[in-house]
Amino acid sequence: MNHEKLLDQYARLTVRSGLCITPGQQLLISAPIEAVPLVRRITHHAYVAGATLVTTLYADDQATLTRFKAAPNASFDTAAGWLFNGMAEAFKSGSARLAITGEDPGLLGGQDPDKVSRANRARSMAYRPALELITSFAVNWCVVSCATASWAKSVFPGLAEEDAIAKLWAAIFKCSRADLPDPVAAWAEHSRNLRRRTDFLNGRRYKALHYRAPGTDLRIGLVDGHVWKGGASTARNGVVCNPNIPSEEVFTMPHKDLVDGTVCSTKPLSYGGTIIDGIKVRFENGRIIESAAEKGAAAFAKMIDTDEGGRRLGEVALVPHSSPISASGIVFNNTLFDENAASHIAVGQSYTDTMKDGSGKSAEELLASGANASLIHVDWMIGSGEMDVDGVMQDGAIEPLMRRGEWVS
């Protein structure tokens, strides 16, 4: 298959299996400027599927960098609140949401970490009302990606730009199953397999998970009435969508006060334009009380200091070490891919739909039940072929869940 054909299959997959656009629905897309050819194909397939209006917001990494080099100090406490309010308005009136990632993972690595964290914080605060509608699945949404030059060069630093882009696209198409003869059917089958796994875990009703790996000995308590999710999600507007393409994870809600022990990251994390690697943290009563990182330590420390919830977990996810993304052997420096290559945890905001009746609870009720609240939600990878995970039953009995990174059953 040539690139044009693959790009078209990927665009159709995004609309049909990712977003599952319904006739009469609007679509709001955000994308890097290099994604224009992909956005045009997605726009075509969205209108064919019955979308009434497709609106795209393009972002430019170089303009972002210019801000850090030339803008006055006050710029870094400023965010486009009016734009995010408009996005929230769009979701409230039923618009679907597509985010296309592909930004340079190390774009802001050389910039003042204080300015970077202030800018991230201002953006997170302004974005919150819109993000809450997304994390609570008010509408169908999806995240896919585009192989940009800067991202491709960070993944394949030894290759010429053109070759790096081609190789990254090939990996994206393969991990997304967009290179199969019928990607939409392949996703339906994959979703069913993830569903079997979440049905099994929901039946076990574990009290906690216990992780062991080199440098890791961590017990994560789960909230009462936690719900394992994975693959397709039913949004509150009734649409069944696949919010991440690719997606290999099953995930649920940890209890924000019941996490204890130490954990080491197993892959680098790209956060707000900085690469953070070699993370080691210690939790006590749910809170990170010690943290270190071999690379990007200042950015990591500022990230978890965003607010109280930034030091506590909001998501726990299990991914077998043999996942196609892990099998590719590529470190993508992009959470959409790397989080599906390994079991991971996320500090920050919980997904309310990973708790029974969570979307109907007030903010106070959610906190009281162990859900976490934060301006951030950042996944980082802790799984490997050396990780064992046990499920702790309500009566304290232990059963093996994963051995050497793979499902036991």
Which residue stretch of 70-78, 211-219, 236-244, 249-257 sits at the interface with Zn ion (rule: CB under 5 A)? 249-257
Nearest to Zn ion of 299, 346 (CB atom)? 346
Nearest to Zn ion of 107, 341 (CB atom)? 341
Q: Which token pair is 190?
A: 């994959």
CB 119 within 8 A of CB 69: no
Which residue stretch of 144-152, 214-222, 251-259, 388-396 sits at the interface with Zn ion (rule: CB under 5 A)? 251-259
Nearest to Zn ion of 68, 187 (CB atom)? 187
By CB under 5 A, how many residues form the interface with Zn ion? 7
Q: How far is the CB of 300 from Zn ion (least distance, A)?
A: 17
When binding is defined by CB under 5 A, the residue of 8, 379, 401, 405 that contacts Zn ion is: 379
User: Largest Cα–Cα distance in the chain?
Assistant: 60
CB 194 within 8 A of CB 318: no
Could you tell me which of 306, 338, 305 has the C-alpha nearest to residue 323? 338
Length of the chain: 409
Q: How far is CA 386 from the centre of its chain?
A: 23
Cα angle value 317/138/15 (rounded, 5°) = 80
β-bridge mates for residue 377, sequence order? 348
Nearest to Zn ion of 61, 379 (CB atom)? 379
Which residue stretch of 7-15, 150-158, 176-184, 379-387 sits at the interface with Zn ion (rule: CB under 5 A)? 379-387
CB 234 within 8 A of CB 350: no
Q: Does 299 bind Zn ion (CB under 5 A)?
A: no
Q: Does 317 bind Zn ion (CB under 5 A)?
A: yes
Q: Which token pair is 210?
A: 């216990």
Nearest to Zn ion of 113, 309 (CB atom)? 309
Q: What mask of x and - would describe binding to Zn ion in positions 194 to 233, judged by CB under 5 A?
A: ----------------------------------------
The residue assigned the tokens 């969508």 is 241
Q: What mask of x and - would describe binding to Zn ion in positions 17 to 56, judged by CB under 5 A?
A: ----------------------------------------
Q: How far is the CB of 339 from Zn ion (least distance, A)?
A: 5
Nearest to Zn ion of 61, 103 (CB atom)? 103
Q: How many CB atoms lie within 10 A of CB 80?
A: 14
Residue 250, classed as helix, strand or coil, is strand
Q: How far is the CB of 120 from Zn ion (least distance, A)?
A: 17
Binding to Zn ion in span 327-356, by CB under 5 A: 339, 346
Residue 24, classed as helix, strand or coil, is coil
Q: How far is the CB of 81 from Zn ion (least distance, A)?
A: 24
Question: Letter for the amino acid at 36?
Answer: V
Q: How many CB atoms lie within 10 A of CB 4?
A: 10
Q: How far is the CB of 373 from Zn ion (least distance, A)?
A: 15
Distance (Å, whole) CA 246 – CA 330: 14
Nearest to Zn ion of 201, 317 (CB atom)? 317
Q: How far is the CB of 158 from Zn ion (least distance, A)?
A: 30
Q: How far is the CB of 255 from Zn ion (least distance, A)?
A: 17
Q: Which token pair is 262?
A: 């130490």
CB 229 within 8 A of CB 251: yes
Q: Does 325 bind Zn ion (CB under 5 A)?
A: no
395 class by beta-carbon count within 10 Å (0-12 exposed, 13-18 middle, 19+ buried): exposed
When binding is defined by CB under 5 A, the residue of 103, 315, 353, 390 that contacts Zn ion is: 315
Q: Can you give the binding site for Zn ion, defined by CB under 5 A?
A: 249, 251, 315, 317, 339, 346, 379
